[in-house]
């Protein structure tokens, strides 16, 4: 399998963590792609986004949730509960944290514009989503005992907030901060951080 990714993409990080948890990393070749600078990716994914996964038979999968669903089915780690309240919780947490990630990417891109060209209302709206999302995550009281797709997505997004200095998310969120300190040391999370080169 070939995974088109960019080193800092939190969505690609989520996929790499899921691959590692499923013991599939060795079957995946990482290929860097620059979605904002290189249109070549559009031939594989009309949205021209990373992550995009090309299977060995040529089938192409996107976005990250679809890729994770496939990898978890293939590897059998059970990171996406099969049914019921556990499944709804995991998918909701994934949707929440993916949404926070999309908001963060928008903030980062806007901040790259010349200072007097930045749209304050766009940044404010995205930051409101991120802050409310973080408060919601704090209330979830995540524990290291459970590490499913929702927690994986949260870990990938929080690491991105740090890497891009999106927001000081630890302030006033002791439970989330303590949880992240533990999961950051988990092998799948630590190893995928080292791939950020």
Ligand X SMILES: N[C@@H](CCC(=O)N[C@@H](CS)C(=O)NCC(=O)O)C(=O)O
In the complex, which residues of this chain contact ligand X (CB under 6 A)? 9, 11, 35-36, 48-51, 63-65, 98, 102, 105
- Separation of alpha carbons 2 and 5, rounded Å: 9
How many other C-beta atoms are found inside a 10 Å radius of the C-beta of residue 96? 21
Nearer to ligand X, 66 or 139 (CB): 66
Q: For the chain, give the number of residues.
A: 197
Nearer to ligand X, 10 or 173 (CB): 10
Listed residue (146, 136, 133, 75) closest to 104, CA to CA: 133
The CB-of-32 to ligand X minimum distance in angstroms stands at 12
Listed residue (24, 157, 2, 172) closest to 95, CA to CA: 157
The CB-of-45 to ligand X minimum distance in angstroms stands at 9
Nearer to ligand X, 149 or 183 (CB): 149
The CB-of-93 to ligand X minimum distance in angstroms stands at 14
The CB-of-101 to ligand X minimum distance in angstroms stands at 7
How many other C-beta atoms are found inside a 10 Å radius of the C-beta of residue 67? 23
């Amino acid at each position: 399998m070939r995974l088109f990714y960019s080193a800092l993409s939190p969505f690609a990080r989520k996929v790499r963590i899921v691959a590692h948890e499923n013991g599939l990393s060795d079957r995946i070749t990482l290929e860097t792609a620059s979605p904002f600078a290189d249109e070549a990716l559009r031939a594989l994914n009309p949205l021209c986004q990373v992550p995009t996964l090309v299977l060995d038979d040529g089938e192409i999968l996107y976005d990250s949730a679809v890729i994770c669903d496939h990898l978890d089915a293939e590897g059998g780690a059970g990171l996406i509960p099969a049914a019921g309240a556990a499944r709804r919780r995991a998918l909701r947490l994934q949707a929440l944290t993916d949404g926070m990630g999309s908001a963060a990417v928008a903030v980062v891109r806007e901040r790259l514009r010349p200072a007097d060209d930045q749209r304050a209302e766009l940044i404010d709206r995205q930051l409101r989503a991120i802050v409310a999302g973080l408060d919601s995550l704090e209330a979830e009281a995540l524990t290291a005992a459970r590490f499913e797709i929702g927690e994986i997505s949260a870990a990938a997004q929080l690491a991105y907030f740090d890497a891009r200095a999106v927001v000081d998310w630890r302030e006033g969120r002791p439970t989330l901060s303590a949880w992240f300190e533990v999961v950051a040391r988990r092998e799948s999370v630590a190893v995928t951080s080292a791939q950020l080169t």
